Chains A and B, each alone.
Chain A
């Protein structure tokens, strides 16, 4: 029921190159392909999830040139020459507070939550003007009631190494 009205023709694949999780990728993409589908079905990076397909739930959050975006709303051809990072690029060791504080239950929203949360962790200056709850509001979770997520982000911000990355 998701509207995908573009007429598809395999011959119309557009060749593009972009950087995915630090490595260059070249491939041909359908002009109407969503970055989410390219990642999941063409590149087998299934960590990024589809929750709604219309930019409401945040389960498909990836970084585009260092900024979190909903990959279901990004046509793949638009990422040519850009840096794309997915949940697979995150350092598992940095996720310990999320494991400890109950940030994940069913796990379907979790990769998106972790992507946004990690981005907040790298930009602690945002906390001067925004609350964690405001910053996480683009990632819907139906299991935790958000306390586990908010507590995890707060814990992660307390850990050494927070804020080291720049975009």
Chain B
């Protein structure tokens, strides 16, 4: 099936939040902290502004607790006399003219008495920089399997390495925005978001309103990638506060500069590996330390750290593993959810480290992976026994074959030996990604989905999971149609409006198709039972029964429902971090071929092969598009996307100097799927959306190492960074790795 809303998007008819018609409204704007830390001693309003025309909101206007409710209750809606990061919201303004508003906002000076900020998450904070607990550690987590110290002491070889990854800006093409208004006593907030019920919860909490007096509606969302997971709650609250005070609809739309400066980014990370190996290259012990920069508030850092450490050991069998994780408080703009959610950072380190090990042992990087990849019956770092029947070696072999890895390696050796200025190489990464919330997270969410039968026999899917480009509307339509045997045209997917749809959990963590889709299938079964049919009834019989039911029960709603149930045989202990971290893992092997120009030190990806096993592929066009988009976002993170920091805030908050890949920067991404249906996922599917961003960065760094002989340990591998590495490695003289 083709994407449901494709034509509306292609013709420009799709209405995003800033496109909605709105009468007699005010524009909203946020006034922010200029300093990373300190007491707000004064707020000076410009003298040439007609202030009575403006609505001005500060923390005293918040009806309930001044907190954006999330994991912790630590982040204020508006700073109350103290700021912890640059761009922290201090005041809100509204006015009918956007231009007048901008002028007024510029006239305001927020005066801060500075205190020493913590700005480097890698270094222990000085005494004056401690602002969280006794050591600025927001969260500590550990995974222990076996006895790592003993195994390291006995290992024939120990290889150590330190790896770093930078922040990444989401650059969803639609900047964030919200509209708040009142329908009678009900506050209605509409906007671009991934998680309507997160926004609802935050509004209820800080505005001290009961659920019946708040309604949240997701508008078509122009990309999210995690950036619209937790942050939209802030904008929703800000717009709502202005609407409350003014009594008028308020529209608060960020422009690109504000969006890049003030919203969350991918957590920067530092990962240290100490690996014990046998002479044959078998992994005997993995001692791993993962440190991430959380920024100035907790946001989602504890769960990002959790996913980072769970994925840190890679898809390999090893009996002795210790993974220690820390999320650090700093006075940076808070970091948050971004596609992959910690796993890209820890797997960059892990997969680059595999190549460093191979080089240290004088071993082939493919062979090293071949002897260590998890086989069925073996267990991950948390002790989760993998028993899914997926042939992980076959996934890797397919990637090697499609990329003509061996043949190209020989070709590269010849090319590099003769070419004056260009160096080519291929790099491999084998990796995995767990789908759904970690551990007991899905149980805690208690997700519910409804499938309604309409009087005309049509089917309506009701869930809080949203379309942001990844294809929810299409896949949900296909799943409902297939389950009930009806035509896709007879299926509608309800707008994600909290007044109508149940809380099926957030649209994150590669969970929508696999988990929520599974609930949808069971809700469809429930609908069928409610009209007196068994699970074998399909198509016209179902629709006739629905119409008959409505004739017999005029005016009553006909709704099937399903709630989440943990798949059998899954157990997780959150206190020891032992057990089944995820219901299912998707597996992948990616190969990048790069060309490095030694004159400019610029790296270009000239071929990319992405092979993965994601259960059953439900919609080949959408699935391929997810992989290609994820890979290109990963190429950007690996090579060019660099946040420049000034006092913990992004200094290059423009698309002019924060570069993301254009069509001309990347090759065609060649995608292949191996299918092994997952019995507990909708239609046999596993989660797919995040997996493709885990592999490109290590594959590319490994390829650059092979091409140039340099030993990159940090990304983005910009020309400047590579130039330093090549100078260290005798620029221009080094013969590229020519081992076959």
Query: Is B144 in contact with chain A by the CB < 8 A criterion?
Result: no
**Interface range on chain B (Cβ under 8 Å from partner):** 35 or more
A90 to B669, CA, bound (A): 29
Chain B residues whose CB sits within 8 angstroms of the CB of A45 once the complex forms: 12
Query: Is B468 in contact with chain A by the CB < 8 A criterion?
Result: yes
Query: Is A163 in contact with chain B by the CB < 8 A criterion?
Result: no
Taking a contact as CB atoms under 8 Å apart, the answer to whether B99 and A146 are in contact is no
> Which one of B446-454, B560-568, B569-577, B618-626 contacts A?
B618-626
Question: Please, which residue of chain B has its CB at the minimum distance from the CB of A134?
Answer: B664
Contact residue among A52, A90, A107, A111 (Cβ-Cβ distance under 8 Å from B256): A52
Interface string of A31-61 (1 = CB under 8 A from B): 0000000001000111111111110110100
Question: Please, which residue of chain A has its CB at the minimum distance from the CB of B99?
Answer: A8
Query: Is B269 in contact with chain A by the CB < 8 A criterion?
Result: no
Chain A proximity of B186: nearest CB distance (Å): 26
Chain A proximity of B478: nearest CB distance (Å): 15
Taking a contact as CB atoms under 8 Å apart, the answer to whether A108 and B100 are in contact is no
Taking a contact as CB atoms under 8 Å apart, the answer to whether A107 and B220 are in contact is yes
Taking a contact as CB atoms under 8 Å apart, the answer to whether B255 and A2 are in contact is yes
Given contacts A1-B653, A86-B12, A102-B622, contact A145 B669 (CB under 8 A): yes
Chain A residues whose CB sits within 8 angstroms of the CB of B629 once the complex forms: 105, 142-145
Q: Which of A45, A50, A103, A145 has the most CB of B within 10 A?
A: A145
| Closest 7 pairs (CB-CB, A-B) | A47-B12, A106-B469, A108-B222, A107-B9, A1-B257, A145-B628, A105-B469
Interface string of A87-107 (1 = CB under 8 A from B): 110101001001111111111
Chain A proximity of B558: nearest CB distance (Å): 33
Chain A residues whose CB sits within 8 angstroms of the CB of B653 once the complex forms: 1
Q: Which of B15, B18, B170 has the most CB of A within 10 A?
A: B18
A10 to B633, CA, bound (A): 44
Query: Is B274 in contact with chain A by the CB < 8 A criterion?
Result: no
Taking a contact as CB atoms under 8 Å apart, the answer to whether A144 and B628 are in contact is yes
Taking a contact as CB atoms under 8 Å apart, the answer to whether A92 and B631 are in contact is no
Taking a contact as CB atoms under 8 Å apart, the answer to whether B10 and A110 are in contact is yes
A146 to B665, CA, bound (A): 10
Taking a contact as CB atoms under 8 Å apart, the answer to whether A147 and B5 are in contact is no
A149 to B621, CA, bound (A): 12
A92 to B256, CA, bound (A): 29
Q: Which of B224, B257, B625, B660 has the most CB of A within 10 A?
A: B625
> Which one of B70-78, B171-179, B303-311, B510-518 contacts A?
B171-179
Taking a contact as CB atoms under 8 Å apart, the answer to whether A143 and B12 are in contact is no
- B615-670: which have CB < 8 Å to A? 621-622, 624-625, 627-633, 653-656, 660-666, 668-669
Chain B interface mostly helix, strand, loop or mixed?
A: loop
Chain B proximity of A123: nearest CB distance (Å): 17
Query: Is B153 in contact with chain A by the CB < 8 A criterion?
Result: no
Chain A residues whose CB sits within 8 angstroms of the CB of B173 once the complex forms: 49, 51, 57, 59, 106, 108-109, 140-143
Chain B residues whose CB sits within 8 angstroms of the CB of A99 once the complex forms: 2-3, 6-7, 10
Chain B proximity of A101: nearest CB distance (Å): 8
- A57-103: which have CB < 8 Å to B? 57, 59, 86-88, 90, 92, 95, 98-103
Contact residue among B222, B261, B628 (Cβ-Cβ distance under 8 Å from A107): B222
Question: Please, which residue of chain B has its CB at the minimum distance from the CB of A110?
Answer: B9
Chain B residues whose CB sits within 8 angstroms of the CB of A86 once the complex forms: 12
Chain A proximity of B646: nearest CB distance (Å): 14
Report 15 cross-chain contacts, Cβ distance below 8 Å, ordered by A residue. Answer: A1-B258, A1-B653, A8-B99, A51-B174, A54-B656, A98-B6, A102-B621, A106-B224, A106-B469, A131-B664, A143-B173, A144-B628, A145-B629, A145-B633, A146-B663
Question: Please, which residue of chain A has its CB at the minimum distance from the CB of B621?
Answer: A102
Query: Is B438 in contact with chain A by the CB < 8 A criterion?
Result: no
A48 to B261, CA, bound (A): 24
A161 to B656, CA, bound (A): 36
Interface string of B2-40 (1 = CB under 8 A from A): 110111111111111011010000000000000000000
Question: Please, which residue of chain A has its CB at the minimum distance from the CB of B13?
Answer: A47
Query: Is A148 in contact with chain B by the CB < 8 A criterion?
Result: yes
Question: Please, which residue of chain B has its CB at the minimum distance from the CB of A132?
Answer: B663
Query: Is A20 in contact with chain B by the CB < 8 A criterion?
Result: no
Query: Is A133 in contact with chain B by the CB < 8 A criterion?
Result: yes
Taking a contact as CB atoms under 8 Å apart, the answer to whether B663 and A106 are in contact is no
Chain A residues whose CB sits within 8 angstroms of the CB of B665 once the complex forms: 137
A87 to B7, CA, bound (A): 12
Q: Which of A40, A52, A103 has the most CB of B within 10 A?
A: A52
Interface string of B671-702 (1 = CB under 8 A from A): 00000000000000000000000000000000
Taking a contact as CB atoms under 8 Å apart, the answer to whether A49 and B16 are in contact is yes
Taking a contact as CB atoms under 8 Å apart, the answer to whether A149 and B655 are in contact is no
Query: Is B334 in contact with chain A by the CB < 8 A criterion?
Result: no
Chain B proximity of A144: nearest CB distance (Å): 5
Query: Is A4 in contact with chain B by the CB < 8 A criterion?
Result: yes
A92 to B6, CA, bound (A): 11
Chain B proximity of A2: nearest CB distance (Å): 5
A157 to B75, CA, bound (A): 52
Given contacts A8-B97, A107-B222, A110-B10, contact A140 B660 (CB under 8 A): yes
